[in-house]
Chains A and B, each alone.
Chain A
Amino acid sequence: MNAMPHTADSHSRGRDIRRILIEDFDNGFTAMVREYQPGIYSGARRLTAGPHDAEDVAQDTFVRAYKALSEYEPERIAELKIRPWLWTIALNLCRSRARTKAAEFEFQESDAAITDEPEAFDEAAWVARLGSLNDAQRTAVVLRYVLDLPIAEIAEATERPVGTVKADISRALDRLRLTMKAEVLHAR
């Protein structure tokens, strides 16, 4: 279900991709997009206004990554932690998008309800619930649970200490529980 489990497998795939990037840049880059773009899309889907924004972020992240990587020395590529590095780029893009949207999450709610594919769970409700979190909490909880990223990687991607990320996740879960309790009370 999760796009990118943090298993030994994903570590060895990351190593393989770094090797191909050094030996055969274009094929390595394509392999990198194939491996990581679904996750970037899936996360951006919950951190931007809708599927269209998520596609833009998922494409632009790799356009920027391509420009950066084509100037990196092989030694730098060999040591690159690709997934958190990509997420640092992607989160910047998500944030600048959020800034340019006039009415951030109120707008997103209706956007999601109209444009999204029909899903088994209550899409609009989840947009509102995630919208009740602050940026740092929403980012941490999406990267942790929607993408199954380890805490250490989230800390790298967001350039925040591990302890802070843990606290963000913990507060986010508390907040979501409260929101959902309130929903139940309202529904009665």
Chain B
Amino acid sequence: MPDDTTHADMTELEQSLTALASMPPDSLLRRTVVSVGSADEAATTDSPIGPVWIAWSTRGVTAVSPLFASPLFDDFALIHRRTAFEANHLPNELAEAVTSALDSGDSAGVPIDTTGIGTFQQAVLGACATIPAGQVRPYGWIASEINNPGSVRAVGSALGKNPIPLLIPCHRVVRSDGSLGNYAFGAEIKHDLLIREGAILA
């Protein structure tokens, strides 16, 4: 019986049947996991701080990461934990919204997907997203916006782990003494971004 036959014992017929195996098209895995929202797609685009990786799900942008921080797609996927499949470019509509948001500093037109992010960080990022271009707010402002005035340090750390920088403008949050504070990509870039937006003087 065929139960435990090794290939050497197979009849010619059985071997012919094994030759009927075939491989799916390369795109099938990606189409499947992207369609259920289990993985993202990602592509590069230009931004005020140079080329960035943008990842998106069926719900919106899930991650932004400058190429100088993660030059390779593999690094990017590692940083953002969710599997993302490299695409040639963003879908047209999303590309237009993202380009316009990066240019103007107003991200209201970009769908953002924060699925999988903890509720505290979601609240912090939500408050941060309301700061208009050309303005800054202290960390304490976010803490009080989310009705958690004692959480200033936690706010700083939640912003430091912002998966969607630039589009969620964590660079607009500064220290209460007016100094710029930290930025994931360095204080100099934070400074340049704020000058570009007219929030501080050169």
Q: Among the interface residues A27, A34, A45, A145, which one has the most CB atoms of the partner chain B within 10 A?
A: A145
For the complex, is A92 an interface residue (Cβ under 8 Å from B)? no
For the complex, is B13 an interface residue (Cβ under 8 Å from A)? yes
- How many positions in chain A have a CB within 8 Å of any CB in the partner chain? 42
Q: Digitize A26-53: 1 where CB-to-B-CB distance is under 8 Å, 0 elsewhere.
A: 1101100110011001100110000000
Instruction: For A170, give the chain B residue with the smallest CB separation.
Output: B1
For chain A, what secondary structure do more than half of its interface residues adopt (helix, strand, loop), or is it mixed? Answer: helix
Residues B25 and A34 in contact, CB atoms below 8 Å apart: no
Residues of A within 8 A of B13 (CB): 173, 176-177, 180
Residues of A within 8 A of B36 (CB): 29, 62-63, 66
For the complex, is B202 an interface residue (Cβ under 8 Å from A)? no
Q: Report the bound CA distance from A27 to B81 in whole Å.
A: 8
Q: Report the bound CA distance from A3 to B23 in whole Å.
A: 8
Residues B31 and A59 in contact, CB atoms below 8 Å apart: yes
Residues of B within 8 A of A145 (CB): 2, 14, 17-18, 20
For the complex, is B38 an interface residue (Cβ under 8 Å from A)? yes
- Chain B residues 5 to 64 lying within 8 A of chain A, measured CB to CB, are 11, 13-14, 16-25, 28-29, 31-33, 35-39
Residues B38 and A42 in contact, CB atoms below 8 Å apart: no
**Set A37, A173, A180: member contacting B24, Cβ < 8 A:** A37
- How many positions in chain B have a CB within 8 Å of any CB in the partner chain? 30
Q: Report the bound CA distance from A24 to B39 in whole Å.
A: 12
Residues of A within 8 A of B24 (CB): 37-38, 41-42, 54-55, 58
Residues of A within 8 A of B82 (CB): 26-27
Instruction: For A176, give the chain B residue with the smallest CB separation.
Output: B13
For the complex, is B83 an interface residue (Cβ under 8 Å from A)? yes
Residues A66 and B38 in contact, CB atoms below 8 Å apart: yes
For the complex, is A107 an interface residue (Cβ under 8 Å from B)? no
Q: Among the interface residues B23, B29, B82, which one has the most CB atoms of the partner chain A within 10 A?
A: B29
Residues B19 and A37 in contact, CB atoms below 8 Å apart: no
For the complex, is A1 an interface residue (Cβ under 8 Å from B)? yes
Residues A45 and B22 in contact, CB atoms below 8 Å apart: yes
Residues of B within 8 A of A72 (CB): none
Could you give 22 example pairs across A and B, Cβ below 8 Å? Answer: A2-B18, A25-B38, A26-B39, A26-B116, A30-B39, A33-B32, A37-B29, A38-B23, A41-B22, A41-B23, A41-B24, A42-B22, A42-B23, A55-B28, A58-B24, A59-B32, A62-B32, A63-B35, A63-B36, A66-B36, A145-B2, A166-B1
Q: Top 8 A-B pairs ranked by shortest CB distance?
A: A145-B17, A41-B24, A66-B36, A29-B38, A26-B38, A30-B83, A42-B21, A146-B20
Known: A30-B38, A37-B28, A177-B13. 14 other contacts (CB 8 A): A1-B19, A24-B81, A26-B82, A26-B116, A33-B33, A33-B38, A41-B24, A58-B32, A63-B35, A126-B16, A126-B20, A146-B20, A166-B2, A173-B14
